Structure 1
C-alpha cells in the first residue's frame, strides 16, 4: 500500500511518515510484543496521505493564507480561523486510491479479529508529536467506537481536521513549529472495550516531583477519556523500580480515588455516555495488585527500550486499558514524558510564611506558591474575561482551556487527579495547581485576591488574600559536603517524594504515629479485638475497614504502605522509623481508642513508648507494628528501613522490647536490621554504656531531654518560658552521650527540633563530634552551609 502502513510495519524511525504516536505503537508491537507487552494491532494513514488529501482538494494555499495572517494571541481570531480550516477539510473529497487503501486495511483488521466490521479507535498522530521536548498531548482529537466503513472515512477526516483546532494551532505557535511543516497521520486501532473494565495512565516517574525511582499508575472504571480530561479522581499506585527488578513484586503504595463517573459506549444511542459509578465500586480499587504489577513491568520494559533507543534516560507517559470481555490488559500508546525530563536539577524550596483563611483545598500539583485575583469560569468561551496573572478557578479543564491556562498564575479545579488534563498542563507550564478541590467554584470569591499554596505536601490550599512567602533556589552540586551526615525528618508519605530529592543522607526520624493518624486512623486494639467492640464502634470501624475481612490485615497493609513509600523514596539511603510514640490521650483519639486507653494526669510522663510494647494491655498492638515493618523489609525488599525505640526508661525495658520484636519475627542484625534507641531521658545518657550493649545507635530527642533535664512539662504554658534546649544542662547531657557512645563504638545522631531552630546548638553538636543531624526540610539548606562552616573552622571534613 502507498498511503497506509500497518503498525507492525513501522517503528520510531518512521515519525516523519506516521507521526510520533503511530511510530511508537509500531515500535512496541515490533520490539516489545516478544517481551509480553500487549498492544492492539491497527494501521496508520501516512503523512504523504495527508498531503495527498490536501493537494487533491487544493487546500494548502488556503491554509497558508489563513495562518499567515493570524495573531495566535487573539483568542477570537484563533477560533474563527480554526473553524474555517476544519470545515474546509471536512468538506474535502478523498482521492480514490486513498479511500480504497483505508477501507482495504480496515477489512483486513476486521478479518483478523474474526468479525465483519470491528469497532476501532481513530487517533491523530502529528509528525511533530511525542518528541522528547514537546508532547503535543491532547492537541488533536481521538474518536472511540468508530464502526463501519462510512463511519471510519468520516472520522479519519475529522482527525485530519483536528490538526487545526484552536488549541493545536496555539500550541504549535507557542512551541515554534511551522504549521505547514507538520503533517497528520491517522491511527486506526482495534478498540479495547474498557467500558465495563478499567483504564488509566502510567508515568515511569512521579509526575509531581519528577522522582525517577517509581512507576506511578492511575486507574478508573470505563474508558480513559475521563482521566485525561480530569473529570474524575483516579486510584493511584506506586511501584518501586529498583526493588521490583530485584524480584520484590509489591505495590508499595495505593491511594483510593473517587472514580465518580464511568464513560461507556451506549449502543442504543450510538455514542459515548457518562454514568455515575456505583458507590460499591467507588470504594474498591479498580485493579488487583497483580494487574498493577504486570502493567508496571510493561512500563519499565517500555522505558528501558526507549532509553536504549534514544541513548539517554527517557521517562515515559503511557496509556493503558483493560478489555472487559476478555479481561486482557493492553498498552494503547506511549510517549516520552516532556516536563521533568527537560528540567535542569535546581532545588526550589517554597515556604509560606503566614497562613490565612482556607477557601478550598484539594491535591497539590507541583510545589510552588502563587498569588493573583481569582477568576471563576464555567466555559473556555469566557476567555475574554480572563487577564494575565489571574488564578483560574473552574470545574475541570480540557485542551480547549489551554489558551487561558497559559496566562494563569495558578489553576484550581473542582475535579480531576494527578494525571488529569489540568495537572499535566500545569506541570508543563510550571504553575501550581490544586485539583479535586470540591466546591471551589462556590467557595472562592470571584475577583478576590487569593494565594494558592502547593508547598504543604500532598495538600494544595487556596487561601484568602495575598500571603507572604519565600523561595530559595539552589543547584545541589553547589552545596558543600560535610563530614557530619545530614538527615531529614519526615512525617507523612505525601511529603516523602519531594523531600527525598533534597541533598540528604537519608531519614533520621520517621514518626510512625504520623502515618498512624493520617492513614490507619483506627486504634490497633480496635482491630485485634474487633468482635468485642460495642455495636456502634464496630460499625464505625467497619466503615473504614470494610474491604478487609481480616482487620489485622487492614492495619498491617495500610501502615506498611505509608512507611514503604517513604523508604522507597529514599532508597537505598537509610530510613530510621521510630515505633509509635503517641501518649495515651493521643491514642484515645484514634477510632475506638477511648475503649482501651487509661486516663492519665500527665500523659507526657505516663504509659508511652517502650513501656507499652511489652505490656499485656498493648503487646498485640505492637506486634502489628512489627508485622508492618517486616512487610516493608521482606515483601517490598526495602532493607534500608531501620527502627528506633522511643522513651525507653531502663536497659531492662530495652531487653523486653527486643524480645517482643523477635517474637514477631523482627530480630536485630537479621538482614542488616539496625535497632536504635531514642536518647531523651537522662537515664539514657547516664546508663549509655548499658544501652549501647542492646542497640546499634542513639538519636537525641532534644524536646523530651530538655523537659526531663529541667523538670518541666512542655505542655504547660505556665512554665513554657523556661523551656530552652540551649541550657548548659542539656548541652552537657548531649556531650556526655556522644563521648560514652563513641567509646562503645556506637554512633549518635539528633532528631529533635533544636538543630533546626538554633544554628548555634547545631554548631555545638558538630564541635562535640556528633555523627548526624536530622533536620526539618525547611531548615536543611541553611544548616548544611552552617555545618560546613563549623567543620572548616575546626579543620575537619
Structure 2
C-alpha cells in the first residue's frame, strides 16, 4: 500500500515516514517481540498521506498564511489560530485511494484479531517527536476505543488536525521547529482492555534525580490517561537494574498510591468515564510483584536495544497496559527520556536559609527552590491572568496548560504523582513542582508571595512569603580527589537517590530509626505481640498493616524496602547501616510503643543501642531488624550493605549482639558481611583493642563521645554552651582511637556532626590519619575542598 504501513514493516529508521511513536512501535514489534516483549499490533498512515491530504484539499497555503502572521506568545491569537487551522483539516475530504487503504488495513487488523470491527486506539505521531532532545509528549491528540469504519475515519482526521492544537504550535515555536516541516502520521493500534485492568508509566531512571540505576514504574487501575493528566496518585515501584540483571527477582521498594479514580469505557454511552475507585481496590496494588518485575525486565531490554541503536545510553519513557480480560501485559509506547538525558552533569545544591509557615505539602519534583507571587487558576483559559515568574497553583494540568507553565517560577498541583503531566513538564522546564498537594488551591492565598521548596527530600513544601535560599553549582569532575574517603550521612530513603549523585565513596551512616519513624511507624513489639494489644492500639496498627495477616511481615517488608532503596542508590559503593538507636522515650512515640518502653529519668544514658538487642524484653524486635537486613542482602542481592552497632558499652555486650545477629541468620564475615561498632563512649576508645577483635571497624559518633567525655547532657539548655567537639579531651580520644585501631588493622571513620559543622575538626582528623569522613550532604562540597588542600600540604596521596 502507498499510504499505509503495518507496524511490523517499519523501524526507527522510518521516523520521517511514520513519526517517532509509530517508528518506535514498529521497532519493538520487529526486534523485541521475539524476546518476549508484548506490543499490540497495528498500522500507521504515513507522513506522505498527511501531505497528500493537505494537497488534495488545497490547505497548504492557507496553513502557511495563518502561521506566518501568528505571535505564539499571544494566548488569544494562539487559541484562535489553532481553532481555524484544525477546522480547515476537519472540513477536508479524504482522497478516495487514501480512504480505501485505511479501511483495508483496518479490516485486515480486525480479521487478525478475529473480530468484525476491532476496537482500536488512534494515536498521532509527528515526524519531529520522540527525539533525544525533545519528546513532544502529549502535544497531539490520542483517541481510545474507536470502533467501526466511520468512527475510524473521523478520528484519523481529528488526529491529523491535532498537529495544530495551541499547545503543539506553542511547543514547536518554543523548541525552534519549523511548523511547515513537521508532518503527522496516525497510528491505529489494537486496543488493550486496560479499562478492565491496569496501566501506567515506566522510566528507566529515577524521573526526579536522573539516577540511572533504577527502573521506576507507576500503576493505576483503568486507562493511563489519569496518570498522564495527574488526576490520581499511582502506585510506585523501584527495581534495581544491576541486581535484576544478576537474577535477583525482588522489588527494591513499592508504595501504595491513592488511585482515586478509574477511567473506563462505557459501551452504552460509547465514551470514556471516570469512576471513583472502590476502597478495596484503592488499598490493593494494581500490579503483582512478579508483573512489576516482568515489566522492569522488558524496560531493560528496550533501553539496551535503543542504546545500541543510538550508540549511546538511552534512558526510556515507556507506557504499558494490562488487559483485564486476558490478564496479558503490553507495552503500548516507548520513547527516549529527554530531560535528564540532555542535562549536563552539574551539581546544583539548593539550600533553604530560613523556614516559615507551611501552606501546603505534596511530592517534591526536582530539587530546586523558587519564589514568586501565587496565582491560583482553575482553567487554562485564564492564562491572561498569569504573569511571568509567578507560582502556578491549580488542581491538575494537561498539555493545554503548557503555555502558562513555561512562564511559571514553580508549579503546585493538588493532584498527581511523579509521572503526571505537571511533573514531567516541570522537569523539562527545570522548575520545582509540588504535586499531590491536597487543598493547595484553598490554602495558598491568591496574589501573595510564596516559596516553593523541593530541596528537603521527598516532601515538597510551599511556604508563605519569599524566603532566602542559596544555590551552589559544581561540576563533579572539577572536585579534587582525596586519600581520605568521603562518605555521606543519609537520613531517609527518599534522600538517598539525590545524595547518591554527589561525588562520594558511599554512605558512612544510614540511620535505621529514621526509617522506623518515616515508614514503619509501629513499634516492633506491637507487631510481635499483636494479640496482646488493647483494642484502640490494635486499630491503629491495623490501619497501617491491613494488607498483612502476619504483622511481622509488615515490619520486615517495610523496613527492608527503606534500607534497600538506600543500598541500591549507592550500589556498588558501601553503605553502613546503623541498627536502631532510638532512646526509650523515642521508641515510646511509635504506635504501641508506650506499652513496651520503660520510663527512664535519663533515656540518653539508659536502655539504648546494643543493650536492647540481646535483652529478652526487646530481642524479638531486634531479630525483625536482622531479618530485614538479611532480606536486603540475600533476596535483593545488595551485598554492599554493612551494619553498625551503636552504643555498645563493653566488648562482652558486643559479643552478645553478634550472637543475636547470628541467631537471626546474619553472621559477621559470611557472604562478605562487615559489622562496625560506633565509637561514642570512652570505653570504646580505651578498650579499642578488645572491640577490634569483634568488629571490622569503628565509626566515631562525635555527639555522644563529646557528651560522655565532658559529662554533659547535650539536651540540656543550661550546659549547652559547654558542648564543643573541638575540646582537647575529645580530640585526644579520637586520635587515640585511630592509633589503636590502625595497630589492629581496623579502619576508623567518623559519622558524627562535628566534621560537617567544623572544617577545622575535619582537618584535625585527617592529620591524624582517619580513614573516612561521613558528612551531611550540604557540607560535603565545602569539606572535600578543605580535605584536599590539607592533604596536599601534608603530602598525602
Q: Tell me what 1:263 maps to.
A: 263
Q: Tell me what 1:544 maps to.
A: 544
Matches within 5 A, 1:193-204: 193-204=193-204
Q: Tell me what 2:615 maps to.
A: 615
Q: Tell me what 1:755 maps to.
A: 755
Listed one character per residue, the Cα deviations across residues 638-668 of structure 1 (whole Å, up to 9, x for unaligned) are 0000000000000000000000000000000
Q: Tell me what 1:6 maps to.
A: 6
Secondary structure of the residue aligned to 2:194 is: coil
Deviation at 1:86, TM superposition (A): 0.3
Deviates more, 1:501-510 or 1:534-543: 534-543
- TM-score normalized with structure 1 length: 1.00
Q: Tell me what 2:717 maps to.
A: 717
Matches within 5 A, 1:164-313: 164-313=164-313
CA distance in 1, matches of 2:371, 2:541: 41
Q: Tell me what 1:523 maps to.
A: 523
Matches within 5 A, 1:49-198: 49-198=49-198
Deviation at 1:244, TM superposition (A): 0.5
Secondary structure of the residue aligned to 1:195 is: helix
Deviation at 1:337, TM superposition (A): 0.3
CA distance in 2, matches of 1:555, 1:357: 34
Q: Tell me what 2:576 maps to.
A: 576
Listed one character per residue, the Cα deviations across residues 356-402 of structure 1 (whole Å, up to 9, x for unaligned) are 00011100000000000000000000000000000000000000000
Deviation at 1:530, TM superposition (A): 0.6
Q: Tell me what 1:379 maps to.
A: 379
CA distance in 2, matches of 1:460, 1:282: 24
Q: Tell me what 1:653 maps to.
A: 653
Q: Tell me what 1:728 maps to.
A: 728
Q: Structure 2 unaligned runs (5+)?
A: none
Q: Tell me what 1:662 maps to.
A: 662
Q: Tell me what 2:421 maps to.
A: 421
Listed one character per residue, the Cα deviations across residues 524-569 of structure 1 (whole Å, up to 9, x for unaligned) are 0010111111122111111110101011111001000000000000
Deviation at 1:682, TM superposition (A): 0.3
Are residue 767 (structure 1) and residue 767 (structure 2) matched? Answer: yes
CA distance in 1, matches of 2:36, 2:492: 36
CA distance in 1, matches of 2:269, 2:355: 51
Deviation at 1:234, TM superposition (A): 0.6
Are residue 783 (structure 1) and residue 783 (structure 2) matched? Answer: yes
Secondary structure of the residue aligned to 1:427 is: helix
Deviation at 1:255, TM superposition (A): 1.4
Listed one character per residue, the Cα deviations across residues 21-49 of structure 1 (whole Å, up to 9, x for unaligned) are 00000000000000000000000000010
CA distance in 2, matches of 1:456, 1:188: 44
Secondary structure of the residue aligned to 2:749 is: strand
Deviation at 1:196, TM superposition (A): 1.9
Q: Tell me what 1:357 maps to.
A: 357
- How many residues were matched structurally? 797
Secondary structure of the residue aligned to 1:536 is: helix
Q: Tell me what 1:481 maps to.
A: 481
Deviation at 1:722, TM superposition (A): 1.0
CA distance in 1, matches of 2:363, 2:765: 39
Secondary structure of the residue aligned to 2:364 is: strand
CA distance in 1, matches of 2:520, 2:18: 50
Secondary structure of the residue aligned to 1:169 is: helix
Q: Tell me what 2:463 maps to.
A: 463
Deviation at 1:709, TM superposition (A): 0.4
Secondary structure of the residue aligned to 1:332 is: strand
Are residue 324 (structure 1) and residue 324 (structure 2) matched? Answer: yes
Deviation at 1:282, TM superposition (A): 1.0
Secondary structure of the residue aligned to 1:543 is: helix
Q: Tell me what 1:506 maps to.
A: 506
Deviation at 1:716, TM superposition (A): 1.2
Q: Tell me what 2:601 maps to.
A: 601
Root-mean-square deviation (Å): 0.5
Matches within 5 A, 1:427-442: 427-442=427-442
Are residue 400 (structure 1) and residue 400 (structure 2) matched? Answer: yes
Deviates more, 1:52-61 or 1:715-724: 715-724
Secondary structure of the residue aligned to 1:359 is: strand
- TM-score normalized with structure 2 length: 1.00
Q: Tell me what 1:642 maps to.
A: 642
Deviation at 1:129, TM superposition (A): 0.7
Deviation at 1:737, TM superposition (A): 0.2
CA distance in 2, matches of 1:176, 1:700: 56
Q: Tell me what 1:40 maps to.
A: 40
Deviation at 1:235, TM superposition (A): 0.7
CA distance in 2, matches of 1:539, 1:160: 56
Listed one character per residue, the Cα deviations across residues 78-127 of structure 1 (whole Å, up to 9, x for unaligned) are 10110001001001000000000100111111111111001000000000
CA distance in 1, matches of 2:482, 2:27: 47
Secondary structure of the residue aligned to 2:32 is: helix
CA distance in 2, matches of 1:508, 1:431: 32
Listed one character per residue, the Cα deviations across residues 451-497 of structure 1 (whole Å, up to 9, x for unaligned) are 10000010100000110100000000000000000000000011100
Deviation at 1:184, TM superposition (A): 0.3
Listed one character per residue, the Cα deviations across residues 131-155 of structure 1 (whole Å, up to 9, x for unaligned) are 1001000000000000000000000
Listed one character per residue, the Cα deviations across residues 503-543 of structure 1 (whole Å, up to 9, x for unaligned) are 00000000000001000000000101111111221111111
CA distance in 1, matches of 2:73, 2:267: 41
CA distance in 2, matches of 1:530, 1:793: 60
Secondary structure of the residue aligned to 2:273 is: strand
Deviation at 1:712, TM superposition (A): 1.2
CA distance in 1, matches of 2:600, 2:793: 49
CA distance in 1, matches of 2:286, 2:703: 44
CA distance in 2, matches of 1:268, 1:336: 38
Secondary structure of the residue aligned to 2:536 is: helix
Listed one character per residue, the Cα deviations across residues 722-766 of structure 1 (whole Å, up to 9, x for unaligned) are 111111110000000000000000000000000000111101000
Q: Tell me what 1:687 maps to.
A: 687
Q: Structure 1 unaligned runs (5+)?
A: none
CA distance in 1, matches of 2:63, 2:461: 45
Secondary structure of the residue aligned to 1:217 is: strand
